[in-house]
Every structure is written in structure tokens, then in C-alpha cells.
Amino acid sequence: MITSVFPAQERGRALGWNGVVVALGISIGPTIGGIITQYLTWRWIFFINVPIGILLFVASQHLLTERMRRGQGRFDPAGAALLGIGLAALILGLSFGQEWGWTSPRLLGSLAIGVAALATGVLVERHVQNPVLDLKLLKNRVFASANISFVLAMLALFAPGFLLPFYFEELRGFSAVEAGLLLTPLSLALAVLAPISGSLADRIGSRWLSPVGLAIACIGLILLSQLDQTSSIWDIAWRLGFTGIGQGIFQAPNTRAMMGAAPRSEQGEASGLLATGRVIGQSLSVAIAGAVFTGLGGAAAGSILAMQQQRQTFSAEQINALQSTFVSSLHAALLVCAAFAGIGIFTSLVRGDERAKAA
């Protein structure tokens, strides 16, 4: 983990530059994906990752040369299996809730399995000498607050990247390449702000940077929820950029606080919890926002509007009605995301004073 390589006084700056790399990948990814989708097929989105994965695996063998310390602990297969099953079952149920029906046996069964597996996993972790999830870390106020805030930030900020391509392509009629390019203001703003906020966190701590960043992101999501079928490219770009500024201010300081609160001997587990929180937040973000958007009729309206662009079979009143349904559904989903960011502001504020620990 990057936090174990750099000293505590430079950790925020290092995490900020790490955020730049991530943001540039997020920025380039949608555009490349749009080109691949438009000129090849969507299946190539997956095919192209195979050689990239092989190349990165080979490179990691030569570049990541940290020595492994043997005999320091054992793998916890029971805890890993229970936590994996629990999270997978919960995400599966939420993702397919609209399709299966919110009271269907499949959905209720999936949620029940998820809750039961996670509850059992927590009990198992309490009695294992080397747990995959050390619950003692969550007793640290700074660590727990930063982790919860990070999950809420992912809940808030991941879904727009999932929903807006539908807005660009189905409602506005942009191509896949244009949709990818239109998403870049958010990630570029994140890339610019991440190293700045990381360096500031090294000097003044993250107690105020994190909630301020989430507050800006919350306002940005509310502004995005005002987009409609007539919004200009400039309207779209500056709202996305504003949201990205908030994410850039929040991310590196919050990660710095979380990793700084974990003892040096538990940096690996803390990093694992960070990654787990990211995946949970991103998965639930798409599941919840997608369920709101679909449940209010936005997905169906978008599909019809996309077909209308080719066939021209509907009257102006029907098109207006479909556009209104799409826009109202999108607005509701983005406001749900803004609500998660709003809750994250308060979870960031309750962490109290940061206690920087040498890692």
C-alpha cells in the first residue's frame, strides 16, 4: 500500500498523486470505451482487458519487490468466504430487485442469505486469531468515520458515471464517443484537485477538508439533477467539473486519515477494508440509483427514445411525455446520490481530532 512507502508527513501528497493516476484512467476510459463500442462491439470492452491484465501482471512481478514476511499470520478462509458470499448476495438482490420484483422470493432469499452470511462472518471473525476483517480497527473513531464516509462518497459519486451515458445517448442523441468525452470534466477536476488537497492534508489534517469536499460534491450532484433535454454542453461540463472538485478535495485527505489511524502492523488490513468499502459503495451506488431510475420509468422511456431516433414513429406529444419521464427519473436518482453525500458530510465531521500515527 502506498501509505507504507511514504512517511506520515508526505502521505497526503502521495495519495493525491495516486488520485491523479486514477482520475486520468477514469478520464480516458469512457472515451476509449466509447470508441471501442462505436466501431467494434461492446464485447471488446472485455477482450481488450485481457492483454492489459497480463502485461500488468508481468510488470508487477518486476516492480513490486517488497519482501513477504512469512509466519506472521494465516489466511482466514471461513471469514473470507462468508464475507464474500454475504456481500455478493446483497449486491445481487439490490441489482436485480427491479427485474425480479421487490417482494419476489428470489430477492428476499438473496437478501436473507446476504444478511445471514455477513452476521455469521462477524461472529467468526471475533474468534479467529488472524481474521480477514479485524473488527478492532472499527473501534477507532477516526478510522471508522473515514471508512463510512468513503463508502457514502462512493455511493454518491459512482452512479452519475453510470446514469449520465444514458442521458447523453438516449435523451440527447450523442454518440458513444461523445458521451465518453462529455464525462471527462469530472475526472479532470478530480485529477487537478487531488494532489492539492493531499498536500493540504499533510499540513492541516483532513478534519475539515473531507466534509468540505463532500459538501461541494453534494451541491454538484444537486446541480446535475437540474439537467434536462435542452441543457447546453457548457451546462453539463461545469456541473460535472464542480462535482469533481468536491470529490478531489475529499478523497486523498479522507484516505490519509483512514490509513493514518491504523497501526503499522495492520496497514494491509486497513488497505483491504478501503478496497472493500470502495467496491461496496460503487456496487450499491449503481444498484440503488439504477433501481430508482428504472422504477420511475426512466430506463423504459430511454429505450423507446433511442429507438425513436432511428424510426421516427412517435408524435411530438408522445416524445415530450417520454422525455419528461426520463428527466424526472434521472433527477430523482441523482438526488438520492446527493442525499448520500449529505450524510457523508456528517460522518466526516464526527471523527474528531486526527491522531496521526507513524505507519
Q: How many domains does the chain have?
A: 2
| 151 and 259 belong to one structural domain | yes
Q: Locate cell 450523442: which residue?
A: 174
Higher pLDDT, residue 114 or 267: 114
Longest alpha-carbon distance in the chain: 72
Do 99 and 47 fall within a single domain?
no
Output b/e per residue, 67-95; b: 16+ Cβ within 10 A: eeeeeeeeebeebeebbebbbebbbbbbb
Q: Is 175 in the same domain as 195? A: yes
From 131, 158, 176, the end of a domain falls on: 131
Shared-domain flag, residues 123 and 166? no
Residue 356 forms part of a structural domain: no
**By the 8 A CB rule, do 110 and 87 touch?**
no
188 lies in the same domain as 103: no
Distance (Å, whole) CA 309 – CA 307? 5
Confidence of residue 359 (pLDDT cuts 50, 70, 90): very low
What does the angle CA 61 – CA 65 – CA 66 come to, to the nearest 5 degrees? 135
Grid coordinates representing 132? 480477514
Q: Are residues 271 and 287 in the same domain?
A: yes
At residue 166, does pLDDT exceed 60? yes
70 and 91 in a single domain? The answer is no
In a domain, 307, yes or no: yes
> Between 141-157 and 267-295, two packed helices, what is the crossing angle to 10 degrees?
30
CATH code, domain with 204? 1.20.1250.20
Q: Residues 84, 211: one domain?
A: no
b/e code 199-222 from CB counts within 10 Å (16+ = b)? bbbbeebbbebbbbbbbbbbbbbb
Instruction: Note whether 115 and 61 are same-domain residues.
Output: no
Examine the domain organization and report whether 67 and 177 are in the same domain: yes
Q: Does 71 or 176 have the greater pLDDT score?
A: 176
What pLDDT, on the 0 to 100 scale, is given for residue 72?
56
Instruction: Write the single-letter amino acid at 253.
Output: P
Amino acid type, 132: V
Q: Report yes or no on 253 lying in a domain.
A: yes
Confidence of residue 64 (pLDDT cuts 50, 70, 90): low
Which of 112, 131, 150 corresponds to the end of one domain?
131
Task: Name the residue range of residue 185's domain.
Answer: 2-74+140-349
- Cβ-Cβ contacts under 8 Å for 135 (sequence gap 6 or more): 122, 125, 126
Burial category of 104 from C-beta neighbours within 10 Å (exposed 0-12, middle 13-18, buried 19 and up): middle
The three cell numbers of residue 231 are: 441543457
Let me know whether 235 and 293 are in one domain: yes
In a domain, 355, yes or no: no
Average pLDDT on 239-244 reads: 94
- Residues 12 and 101 placed together within one structural domain of the fold: no
